Structure 1
Amino acid sequence: MKNYLFILLALVIACQSADKPNPTPTPPVTSVDTVGKFQNPLLTAAPDPWVTYKDGFYYVMHTTGNDLRIYKTAAMSRLGSARPVTVWTPPTTGPNSRDIWAPELHFVNGKWYIYYAADNNGNDATHRMFVLENESADPTQGTWVDRGQLNLPENRWAIDGTLLQQNGQLYFAWSGWQTDQGGSQHIYMAKLSNPYTVESTARIRLSSPDYAWEKNGFGVNEGPEFLVHNNKVFLIYSASFCGTDLYALGQLSADTSADLLNPASWTKSATPVFGPNGGNGTFGVGHNSFFTTPDGKENWLVYHANAASGQGCGNNRSIRMQPFTWKADGSPDFGSAAPIAQWIKRPGGE
C-alpha cells in the first residue's frame, strides 16, 4: 500500500511539473555594439567595383561580363538592398560583344559617361575601351548613346579605363600590353579633347611591374584609379595576377601642377599601399574605387576581395569598403583590409 501511495504521489508531482511553462531563455550577452554599423561584403559576385556620388545618391557599377548595370542608393552600407538597373546590353557580335569588364560611370560637363572594356566574341586580344553617353540627370534613366570605341593611341589591347579631370583638362588612364601578343600589363595615359575623343597622338607609359610584389603569377599593373588630395594626384593601381591571393594596391604620385603626361612627374611607391591580403576573409584585395561622404569629412576605400584562399579572378570576388585617412605627407593611409566579420561604423549621413 505504501508503495502504491508513493507512486501515485510521484505521478501527481510529475503532472504538475509538466503543466508549468518553460522559463523564457535568456538571450546571449554580446559585447559587440552593432548599432549604426555594418559588415562586409556589400555585394557578392561583384568584382571590379566603381562608385561615384551625385545629388544625394551613390551610383555603383561592377563587372558582370555580359551587360552594364547601375545600382542607385542613398546609403553605401545598404547597397545590398538596392536593385540594379541594366542600362546596356551588348550586340550579339562585333568588337564590343563579349567580356564586358570594369565599367566606370563619370559625370562630365553635364552628361554621364560609362567607360567599359569589351572584346570581339571572346577573343581577349581584341579587348578595347568603349564609351556610352547619357544626358539624363539620373544615369539609371534616360537614353544611353553608343559613342563607340575610344580610339586610344596605337590601338592596342586595353582594359580598366578611368578618367581624371584636372586643371581644366581630361586625362584617361588604362591598363595595356606593349603589343597585342600578351605579356606584362602596364599603366598608360593619354589626353582627351572631350569625354569620347582622344587628343594625344601617343600613349604615355606611367608604370610597369618592376617589383617582385607586382609579379606574382605574372607582371601586372591594372585597375588604375585617380585620387586627388591637396596639391597631389595619386594613381592607385592593382598589381600581380588577380588569380593569386597576392593581388595588392600600388601607388604613383605627382604634383597637381606637374605635367601629368611626363613619366618623370610621377613617383612610385616601392611597397604595396594596401594588401596583398589580410586573411580573415580578405584574399586578393584590389581593383578599388573611392568616395567621400556628403559632408566631406570621411574618405572611403571600396575594393573587391575573395573570402577564401585560392578563389582567383571569378565571381567569388565581393565588394568591400572601409574608411581611410591621410598621412602627414598628404598621402593616403589605407591601413589593412578589414576582416570580413568586423563591424564597421556606417559612413557619415547614414
Structure 2
Amino acid sequence: MMINPLLKTNIFQYLSLCMLLSSSTLAAQQFQNPLLDSGADPFSVYVDGYYYYTHTMGNRVVLWKTKNLANLREAESKTIWTPPAGTMYSKNVWAPEIHYINNTWYVYVAADNGTNENHRMYVLQNTSANPLNDQWEFKGKLAAPSDKWAIDGNVFEYNNQLYMAWSGWEGDTNGQQDIFIAKMSDPTSLSGKRVKISSPTYPWERNGDLGTAGNPEQVFVNEGPQFLEHDGKLFIVFSASGCWTDYYALGLLSLEGTDPMDASAWTKKEEPIFQQTPENGVYAPGHNSFFKSPDGKEDWILYHANSNPGEGCGNKRAPRMQRLYWNEDSTPFIGTPLPTTVLLPIPSEKF
C-alpha cells in the first residue's frame, strides 16, 4: 500500500514530537544534586501544594517557593527579612527555618551583633497566607531563663506540646556545643528551663581542632538538631564534629519513653548514620532537615555537603537531597551520600 507523502511527513513529525515530549517528561522526572551551587543549612516546609525553602545567607533571610524542590534553580525567591543595623541580631544570620503553625508562618533564626558569644535565637511571624511578602514581624528573642549562646533552633509538636531543640553552650565560653531542649508555651516563647540531652562524647563527634601547634584549642560540636517522628517513635538527628572538618556527620538520638524533657530517656547511636564518602566525592555532609514527597508517601532528607576535601564551612557547601528509608525497628536509614553524577527520581507527586 502506498502512503501519501504528506501523511508520511505528518506521521514522522508526530512521532518526533512524541519522542521529544517523552524525553522532556523523563528529564523532568529526574534531578541531580546539588540543588543549588551554594546554600548551607537547608530547610523546607510543604504547605498547600508548595515547598517553602530557605538556607543560611549570613546577612538576611530569603525564601524560595516551588512545587518541586528539584527545581530550586528556577524557583521564585524573595528576601523576607533583613535585620536592622546596630542591633544584637544584625549579623551572622544563620540556619533559618520556616514553620507553619496554626495557620501562621514563623521563621526561627540565629543571629548576633558581630560577636559570636552573643549568638541567640530569634523569631519572625507572618499571619498572611503568602509568606513571600513584606508582612513579616520581628517578635524578639527566644531564650531559656539561663539565656546562653544558642543556634540552630528546630521546632516540633509532640503529643500536643511544642518543643524547641537547639545547639548551645553550657556556660559563656566556647569549647563545646551541646543539644538542649525546652517546652514552648506558644510559637514565640520558650517556657521553663532548658534540658541538655546530648553532648559530643564519641570520637566521631570530637573532630574540631581550631588551635595551632603552640596554642591548641579543641572545640567539640553537637548542632543542627532536627526532630523526626515515625510509627509513634521520636528521634533527633543532629550534626557532629566541626563543620570546618571533613568529618562533619549526622548522629541519631532516640527517645525511649514519652517525655522529651527527660534527658535520661534519650539514647544516642554509637556510630554516625551519615558521613563523608570520598569515593562519591561528598565531604562534610550535615546540618540536615526532612520533608515528605508531595503525595506524602516518601521521606526525604535535605542536607549540605562539600564536593572536595578541606572546603570547610564556607560557601562551597551546597544543598542536596535523597530518599530516606526505615529499618525494621522504625529507625531511619539514610545510607551514604550519593555522588552528584547520579540521576535520581524526583519526589513522588500527587496525581
TM class by smaller structure: 0.7 to 0.9
SS at match of 1:136: coil
Q: Distance in 1 between matches of 2:267 and 2:254?
A: 5
Residue of structure 1 equivalent to 2:227: 226
Q: What is the correspondence of 1:307-318 to structure 2 with a 5 Å cutoff? A: 307-318=307-318
**Distance 1:64-1:35 versus aligned 2 partners, 3 A rule:** closer
Q: Do residues 54 (structure 1) and 55 (structure 2) align?
A: no
Q: Distance in 1 between matches of 2:105 and 2:29?
A: 32
- Rg (Cα) greater in structure: 1
> Once the 2 structures are TM-superposed, how far is the Cα of residue 278 of structure 1 from its aligned partner?
4.4
Q: Distance in 2 between matches of 1:34 and 1:328?
A: 33
Deviation string 1:100-156 (CA, Å, 9 cap, x unpaired) is 000000111111100000001x10000000000000112112511110111223100
SS at match of 1:45: coil
SS at match of 2:220: coil
Q: Distance in 2 between matches of 1:188 and 1:271?
A: 21
SS at match of 1:220: strand
SS at match of 1:125: helix
Q: Distance in 1 between matches of 2:135 and 2:144?
A: 25
Aligned 8 A contact 2:144 2:191 in 1:
no
Q: TM-score normalised to the size of structure 1? A: 0.88
Query: Which shows bigger deviation, 125-134 or 216-225?
Result: 216-225
Q: What is the correspondence of 1:1-350 to structure 2 with a 5 Å cutoff? A: 36-120=29-113, 122-141=114-133, 143-200=135-192, 202-217=193-208, 218-255=219-256, 258-349=258-349
Q: Distance in 1 between matches of 2:325 and 2:280?
A: 22
Counting matched residue pairs gives 315
SS at match of 1:49: strand
SS at match of 1:160: strand
SS at match of 1:52: strand
Residue identity in the other structure for 2:203: A
Aligned 8 A contact 1:278 1:337 in 2:
no
Deviation string 1:51-72 (CA, Å, 9 cap, x unpaired) is 1100000010000000000000
> Once the 2 structures are TM-superposed, how far is the Cα of residue 165 of structure 1 from its aligned partner?
0.7
Q: Distance in 2 between matches of 1:320 and 1:286?
A: 10
Aligned 8 A contact 2:80 2:134 in 1:
no
Residue of structure 2 equivalent to 1:29: none
Aligned 8 A contact 2:280 2:337 in 1:
no
**Distance 1:272-1:228 versus aligned 2 partners, 3 A rule:** same
SS at match of 1:41: coil
> Once the 2 structures are TM-superposed, how far is the Cα of residue 83 of structure 1 from its aligned partner?
3.2
Deviation string 1:78-105 (CA, Å, 9 cap, x unpaired) is 1111132100001111110100000000
Gaps spanning 5+ residues in structure 1: where? 1-32
Residue identity in the other structure for 2:271: T
Q: Distance in 1 between matches of 2:271 and 2:81?
A: 39
Q: Percent identity?
A: 46
Residue of structure 1 equivalent to 2:215: none
> Once the 2 structures are TM-superposed, how far is the Cα of residue 305 of structure 1 from its aligned partner?
0.3
SS at match of 1:252: strand
> Once the 2 structures are TM-superposed, how far is the Cα of residue 244 of structure 1 from its aligned partner?
0.5
Q: Distance in 2 between matches of 1:311 and 1:279?
A: 16
Aligned 8 A contact 1:173 1:190 in 2:
yes
Q: Distance in 2 between matches of 1:321 and 1:89?
A: 27
SS at match of 1:154: coil
SS at match of 1:80: helix
Q: Distance in 1 between matches of 2:52 and 2:78?
A: 11
Query: Which shows bigger deviation, 272-281 or 125-134?
Result: 272-281
Q: Distance in 1 between matches of 2:339 and 2:52?
A: 25
Residue identity in the other structure for 1:140: L
Q: Distance in 1 between matches of 2:73 and 2:79?
A: 16
SS at match of 1:301: strand
Aligned 8 A contact 1:249 1:276 in 2:
no
